[in-house]
Structure formats: structure tokens, C-alpha cells
Chains A and B, each alone.
Chain A
């Protein structure tokens, strides 16, 4: 038991890195995904096609490859080439990748809203922007909560990929101790950490769903 308690400190340190990546990715990828989704449903075909290509690229290649590319290869790309430190490189890769997935969820949500809602708003004099902001997006939020819950839980676990940039996240911290102490107990404690994080997320999303469900009462 004392051994388990002694693990909490170092693993909590790893968990902070995990949480930091998770939160920053979410804060960047949700707005970016929304912009991409709106571009995807826009009447401007060229923009829609461009975003379509972006989503294909981001979903069609491994996140780990994207991360390695941004860290190792981006500095050599002409014009946009910048050398990013390890953590920011990971953040950029995660945000760009998750924005693509979020965009598809948002698009599905937007397109599930009945045409009548647009017409109802239009005959009241609302512009496209007002209709989106006030009528369509608030209704979309409710419908995308279940898939968003899925995706954010996946994100928590995907953060463990950053070990390839030698960043000390929760899983890498656990592995380090496993190799040092020749026991698998740190893995079990790390699993408990992940479970607690996803439990909090699940609970949060359930509360949100309940709040939005009041419209049906």
C-alpha cells in the first residue's frame, strides 16, 4: 500500500502533462472544428472542397505520424517551416487532428436540423449568421453531445501518444517506474488515473445532456 502511495506523486506529475495537453487541445480544436464545419456546409463550393480535403488528410493519416511530422519535418518545409519545441508541436498536431473529427461531428449536427428551422428564422427576417448563431447551433449542441463525449474520451487516451516526443505524460511516467522497479503495479495505478479522468468527463457530459433535455419536457 505504501508502495502505491509512493507512486501517486510521480504519476500525478505525468497526469498533469496529460491533462494540460487534453485541455489545450480541446480549447483549440472545438472552435477550429466549428469553423471547419461551417466552411464545410457553406455554399462556397471551393471552400467546402478545401475543408473536405483537409479532413481527409487529417483523418487519413496517423496522429502519431502528424506529430512526428510537425516536430521533425516541419522545420524543413519552406515558407511555413518553424521549429516548435516538443510540447507545442504535440499541441498543434492534436488540435489540427481533433478539429477534423470535431468538424465532422458538428457538420452532422448542423445538417440534422430541419429545413423548417431555417425557413422559420428566415421569414422572421434573420440573416444566415443570426440563424446559425441563435437557432441552428444551439440545437446542434444538444444532438452532438453523445458523439462529442466519445471523442473527448478518446482524446484523453490518445494523449499517451506524446511519449514519442519524449514527453513525460501519465503512461510514460508509469512505464518509467515499471522498468525501474520491475513491477506492473504502476500500470494499474495509471489505469485508475485514466478511469477517474474519463469518469469525470462522462459525468460532465451526462449533466449537459440532462440540461438540454429540458426542452422535451
Chain B
């Protein structure tokens, strides 16, 4: 009965988490930076990962797309295992080519933008689609222009990044990540390097993305954004993920005393 199989497959796909991380451990030298961190992100879910500086939020995020490697634990992106650990505690990654293929489902935006300074805005957007996906230049340009419209920077298409403000750079970085058509967007403190008056335009772009049901995991210090846009808040401190709860609930009454202390400090 093909239809039943099909339905089952659809149901499985719908319930399958976009990101699944279980029992992640990581140390830098002898300093433990992640201690048994587990997090699941569903399709279209926006998760804000918050916590004090040095709590391991960014490191955890960077483990999900292999910018950092884990010592122990399990990571799967859309059901495909990236790293797993056997009973003896040996952590293994899939092959390098597989890692690249799986991580391509994610896009990432950095605190310091990491735009390519020798390329114009447009070239920043078309580089990876052409080089990695083999897209024809004309098609890549057409898509890039749509994305630039979306982030409101069509007029800057032929400028070099050095000519842009921080907020504009970050919007280009978001468009550049979207050009690879990821299913998941990872944001690593996207507004932390910006002047306060420039954070708004970046947050607006991110909010629009959330409204399109993009799956997003956002490391942020913007409590306003976490409260208004995120569905879920995950709180980390000292390498541990202390609580993961619906945003409204978390901000209403944080469960853990350290989250409460953190919120009191931030708000």
C-alpha cells in the first residue's frame, strides 16, 4: 500500500527534528566548555540560546556545523547523523564529504560578518552558489538580486563590504547565507558587534525570516528579540544547558535560579 507508506514517511518527516544534539561534551585543553548539552530544534522553530558570556553558547552553536568538533555526544541534522559516540565513548564523525553535505543544510551568520572583502556585495552572494553548487552565473545573480531586495540592499550590490555600515554588512551576510538555500539558520551573536542604533535593521530582517517559518537557532544577548520572536528559550551557564522552555514561560517565570539571576541582570 504505497499511500500508507507515503503518509508514514510524511509523518516521520514532520516529526523529525531539524537539529538534534544529545549529550554533547567538549573541552578546550583541560577546560570543559560543554557539559552534557542536549537540544532539539523542530521545523520552523526559532530558538534563542542565551546565557552569560563564556557559558558555551557560541561553542555549542559552532559544533552543530562542524566549526568545532565535539568530544562526546550525538549530533544529527534533519535526521542525518553528523557525529555519534559508541558505548565505549569513542566519538566518530561521518566522512569529510558527508560532513560538508550535511552541514550545507545549515547557514550561518557570524558576529563579525566574515564577508569576503575582495568581492562586491553581489559577488559575495553568488560566490558559493556558483563554486559549490555549480549554478550558472546569470541564475545566481537573479537569485542574489531577489535576496538583496529582501534585505533592502539592492542599491549596494556593486559596493565592496568596506563601504557598508555594520548593519548593512550583517544583512548582506544573512542574504549570503540564504543564497545557499539552507533549511536551518544559525546566528552567532549577530548584533553584538553593531552600534546600538544599527541592531534594529538586522533584527527586523531576522524577524521577517522567522515569519517565513525558517528554522533558526540564535545565540543572542537581545532579550527583546528572544522574548518577541523566539518560540523557545534555551539557557546556558558554565557549559551546561540549564533549561529549555517556551519563551513566554521562560520570561514569565524562569525555572532555574541562575536563569533568574541572569534575567534580573539583563533586564
Residues of chain A having any CB pair with chain B under 8 Å = 114, 116-117, 119-127, 130, 134-135, 138-139, 142, 212, 214-217
Contacts and interface: CB of A to CB of B under 8 A. Distances in A.
Contacts of B180: 124-125
A179 B174 CA distance: 72
B67 A130 contact: no
Q: Report the interface size class on chain B.
A: 20 to 34
Contacts of A135: 116, 127
Given A119-B67, A124-B127, A124-B176, A215 B160 contact: yes
Interface centre among A130, A139, A212, A215, by most chain B C-beta atoms within 10 angstroms, is A215
Report whether over half of chain A's contact residues are helix, strand or loop; otherwise say mixed: helix
A119 B173 CA distance: 13
A215 B103 contact: no
Contacts of B177: 123-124
B131 to A, nearest CB: 5
B107 interface: yes
Interface of B: 65-67, 100, 103-104, 106-108, 110, 112, 114-118, 127-128, 131-133, 160, 162-163, 176-177, 180
B61 to A, nearest CB: 11
B107 A123 contact: yes
Given A124-B177, A212-B118, 6 more contacts: A119-B67, A124-B107, A124-B176, A134-B131, A215-B160, A216-B162
Given A123-B108, A124-B177, A138-B118, A216 B128 contact: no
A117 B176 CA distance: 14
B114 A117 contact: yes
Given A217-B162, A217-B163, A120 B118 contact: no
A63 B219 CA distance: 56
B67 A127 contact: no
Contacts of B118: 138-139, 142, 212, 215
A120 B131 contact: no
Contacts of B132: 124-126, 130
A214 to B, nearest CB: 7
Given A124-B127, A217-B163, A139 B114 contact: no
A216 B107 CA distance: 27
Nearest to B106: A123
Nearest to A216: B162
B145 to A, nearest CB: 18
17 contacts: A116-B110, A116-B112, A116-B114, A121-B116, A121-B128, A122-B66, A122-B67, A124-B127, A125-B100, A126-B128, A126-B131, A126-B132, A130-B132, A135-B127, A139-B116, A215-B118, A217-B163
Nearest to A130: B131
Per CB-CB distance, the 7 closest pairs between chain A and chain B, nearest first, are A120-B114, A124-B128, A116-B114, A123-B108, A125-B132, A125-B104, A215-B160
Contacts of A119: 67, 110, 114
A70 to B, nearest CB: 39
B71 to A, nearest CB: 20
B2 to A, nearest CB: 34
Contacts of B103: 123, 125
B110 A120 contact: yes
A134 B160 contact: no
A33 to B, nearest CB: 21
A120 B162 CA distance: 16
A159 B264 CA distance: 72
Contact of B160 (A116, A126, A217): A217
Contacts of B66: 122
A127 B115 contact: no
A124 B114 CA distance: 11
A31 to B, nearest CB: 21
Given A117-B114, A139-B117, A139-B118, A123 B65 contact: yes
A134 B118 CA distance: 10
B13 to A, nearest CB: 23
A216 B67 contact: no
A124 B177 CA distance: 7
Contacts of B117: 139, 215
Contacts of A215: 117-118, 160, 162
A127 B100 contact: yes
